[in-house]
């Protein structure tokens, strides 16, 4: 006579208490590791993933009885995980991507063209020097959900020593502003052409907290120009050409 695989060994109450104790200790460990800023990120991730995987396994095996029941019950669970992988890949790949390599260039760029990429919270330029004369800055706000601006100061001060107010914003009145592109929406670009004389410039985003968090960069212009450099009183007309980054949502 064949014997059916009944619910074999039944765990004792103390087993569940021990499992609960391990889950509680692991949760505390997770919080501690999460707070350890000094831990290298690779080690931190490895520890946290290990703790989470062990916790999940303990709940599955003991609280959900997989250790004592037929293994066939684990099949739908495993199947769900396998199916979730391609679905999430499809979702991610079909989401609105914003490739910066295919940015549209404005038609009215003149002179030297500098690509500017602003993300939260960093400004990157394609080059940090230029020859005196007209320079076009093609500014892309690469942030996904945050406005940025681009202000050019003509100053001898290093970028991290600009005068700031109580809120941490740079005191624009205390400095010479060459030109500015304000409130560039996320995933949009704007072009500014300005006639620059030889000198030292600092470029920042002065929205609250952005300068303090690192959105500042210095820029040097060398040589002489046939045209006089812009002055605050008579600024060169910035040719702003709002363009949208391909793939970005309208009105974002």
Partner 1 sequence: MSEAEVGATAKRTNIAPFDNKEKLGVWFFLGGEVILFGTLILTYSLFRITYADQYALFRSNLSIPLIGANTFVLITSSYFVVRALQAVKQDRLNAFLANLLVVLVLGSIFIGGQAYEWSQLFGEGIKLDNTFGSAFFIVTGIHGTHVLVGLAWASIVLLFGTGNAYNSRNYRAVEFFGLYWHFVDIVWIVLFSLIYLL
What is the closest distance, in whole angstroms, from the C-beta atom of residue 1 to partner 1 in the complex?
Answer: 14
Rounded CA-CA distance 137/131 in Å is 13
Q: Give the residue with the Cβ less far from partner 1, 17 or 129.
A: 17
Q: Give the residue with the Cβ less far from partner 1, 89 or 174.
A: 89
Among 84, 104, 157, 174, binds partner 1 (CB under 8 A): 84
Separate counts of helices (H) and strands (E) for the chain: 3, 10
Neighbours of 80 (CB within 10 A): 9
What is the closest distance, in whole angstroms, from the C-beta atom of residue 104 to partner 1 in the complex?
Answer: 22
* Tokens describing residue 163: 């005068």
**Stretch in the footprint of partner 1 (CB under 8 A) among 86-94, 147-155, 166-174, 232-240:** 86-94
What is the closest distance, in whole angstroms, from the C-beta atom of residue 184 to partner 1 in the complex?
Answer: 16
Residues 100-135: b if buried by 16+ CB within 10 A, e if exposed:
eeebeebeebebbbbbbbbbbbebebeeeebebbbb
Which residues ranging from 169 to 228 are in contact with partner 1 (CB under 8 A)?
none
Q: Determine if 146 is a binding residue for partner 1 (CB under 8 A).
A: yes
Q: Determine if 43 is a binding residue for partner 1 (CB under 8 A).
A: no
Rounded CA-CA distance 160/213 in Å is 10
Q: Give the residue with the Cβ less far from partner 1, 75 or 104.
A: 75
Q: Determine if 29 is a binding residue for partner 1 (CB under 8 A).
A: no
Among 1, 42, 99, 145, binds partner 1 (CB under 8 A): 145
Asked if 141 and 215 count as a contact pair (C-beta separation under 8 A), the reply is no
Within 8 A by CB and 6+ apart from 113, the residues are 105, 135, 136, 138
Rounded CA-CA distance 148/207 in Å is 7
Q: Does a cis peptide bond (omega within 30 degrees of 0) precede residue 47? A: no
Among 112, 121, 180, 219, binds partner 1 (CB under 8 A): 121
Q: Determine if 88 is a binding residue for partner 1 (CB under 8 A).
A: yes
DSSP character string of 22-40: HHHHHHHHHHHHHH-TTS-
Binding site for partner 1 (CB under 8 A): 4-7, 13, 16-17, 20, 23-24, 27, 30-31, 33-35, 44-45, 48-49, 51-52, 55-56, 59-60, 62-64, 69-70, 72-77, 79-81, 83-85, 87-89, 91-92, 95, 119-122, 143-146
């Amino acid at each position: 006579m064949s014997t059916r695989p009944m619910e074999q060994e039944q765990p004792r109450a103390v087993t569940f208490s021990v499992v609960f104790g391990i889950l509680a200790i692991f949760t505390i460990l997770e919080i501690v590791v999460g707070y350890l800023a000094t831990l290298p990120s690779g080690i931190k991730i490895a520890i946290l993933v290990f703790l989470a995987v062990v916790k999940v396994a303990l709940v599955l095996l003991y609280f959900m009885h997989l250790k004592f029941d037929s293994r066939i019950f684990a099949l739908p669970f495993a199947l769900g995980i396998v199916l979730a992988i391609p679905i999430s890949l499809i979702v991610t790949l079909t989401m609105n991507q914003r490739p910066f390599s295919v940015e549209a260039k404005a038609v009215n760029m003149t002179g030297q063209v500098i690509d500017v990429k602003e993300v939260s919270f960093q400004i990157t330029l394609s080059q940090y020097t230029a020859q005196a004369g007209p320079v076009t800055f093609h500014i892309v706000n690469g942030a996904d959900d945050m406005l940025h601006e681009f202000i050019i100061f003509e100053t001898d001060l290093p970028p991290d020593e600009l005068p700031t107010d109580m809120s941490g914003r740079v005191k624009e009145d205390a400095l010479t502003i060459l030109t500015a592109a304000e409130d560039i929406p996320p995933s949009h670009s704007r072009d500014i052409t300005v006639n620059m004389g030889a000198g030292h410039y600092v470029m920042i985003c002065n929205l609250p907290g952005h300068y303090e968090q690192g959105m500042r960069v210095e820029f040097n212009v060398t040589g002489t120009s046939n045209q006089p450099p812009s002055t605050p009183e008579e600024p060169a007309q910035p040719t702003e050409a709002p363009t949208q980054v391909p793939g970005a949502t309208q009105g974002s």
